[in-house]
Amino acid sequence: MALFLNTPKLNYWIPKLIEESEEELILIVPYIQTSENVLKALNKADSNGVEITLVYRENKLSDYEKSKLLALKNINLLHHPNVHCKCYYNGDLLIVGSMNLYEYSEKNNREMGMLMHRCDIDGDEKGFKIYNDDKEVFDDGIQEIREIINGASLEKSNDKARERSFEIDIIKTEEDLARDLCDRLNKSFLNKKFKPFEINDKVWFAKCDNYFDKVDVIFEYKRIAIKFKLDQEELIKVYNAWVNVYDEYEFAGFKYYWNDPYQELLLYRDFNFDWSDDNIKDKKYYEGISSIIEKYRKLSNK
């Protein structure tokens, strides 16, 4: 559920969104005259190594304000001839509203906006929880952000942006993310080749057709789906043999479910295992899938 923001709440949430950025931050505001509060938040994000991308309206930034922004080590500074929206986004929180990064507006104007969020957040002084918003809201907002950045002119880029060809992870599409995952998996799984797979409109996964003969493997959001492409009689036979010896935690680092012979077997990560390192993670994925395939071969005599 989105949270309505008036001027005091915008003054609270905009610096909070900036300060709590973890890796990337996007600010699209036509007019800028930074207050002490906002500049402090920007400096904190910058010192934390956050890559800051800021788009302002062409010819509407004073030399003094530009010098403050260019002092940020990790900033990408762009201008756009027609931008008039006010948008603040850090990958988890998205604010769209009327307030510029302008000290006068913070102190004098009646402003309003909306806060949308991927994760659950604390509400306000009443202390209630606000639950995360629909994915479609972010998809539409990110599409517009991406188009504005594409249409802007670059004045200054940071070192990371130059190294990565100005890739910004928090505005990647589902297809982009699936392709990135496929590239990573293909380095670890060698001859097992994954490709981006659109399961339905705007929903993309990484899929390996025939990972083993008549077995497909699909990396979904938080699980791995394993599909056995067998005729009905053989599928029922394998399923019945499997459920007779089923133990959801039999494979170290995972739990799994296969509740219906006509549905995929679903392999989930056991979060008692450390999944933070991508190289270790992919090796563990390989072990988990191999364990499933080994059991399948044993039960089906393949």
pLDDT band at 131 (very low <50, low <70, confident <90, very high): low
Cα 236 → chain centroid: 38
- Percent of the chain, pLDDT > 70? 95
Q: What is the pLDDT of residues 139-185, one digit of tens each?
A: 899 999 999 999 999 999 999 999 989 999 999 999 999 999 999 99
Output the CA–CA distances (angstroms, integers) from residue 17 to 45, 116, 227, in the order listed.
10, 11, 41
Q: What is the pLDDT of residues 223-243, one digit of tens each?
A: 999 999 999 999 999 999 999
Q: What is the pLDDT of residues 248-260, one digit of tens each?
A: 999 999 999 999 9
- Determine the pLDDT at residue 276: 86
pLDDT band at 135 (very low <50, low <70, confident <90, very high): confident
How far apart CA 71 and CA 156 sit, in angstroms, is 11
Cα 198 → chain centroid: 17
pLDDT band at 126 (very low <50, low <70, confident <90, very high): very low
- Asked if residue 203 has pLDDT above 80, the reply is yes
pTM: 0.81
- Determine the pLDDT at residue 128: 45
DSSP code string of 22-56 = SSEEEEE-S-EE--HHHHHHHHHHHHTT-EEEEEE
Query: Cβ(216)–Cβ(264) under 8 Å?
Result: no
- Asked if residue 127 has pLDDT above 50, the reply is no
Single out the residue of 275, 265, 273 nearest to residue 296, CA to CA: 265
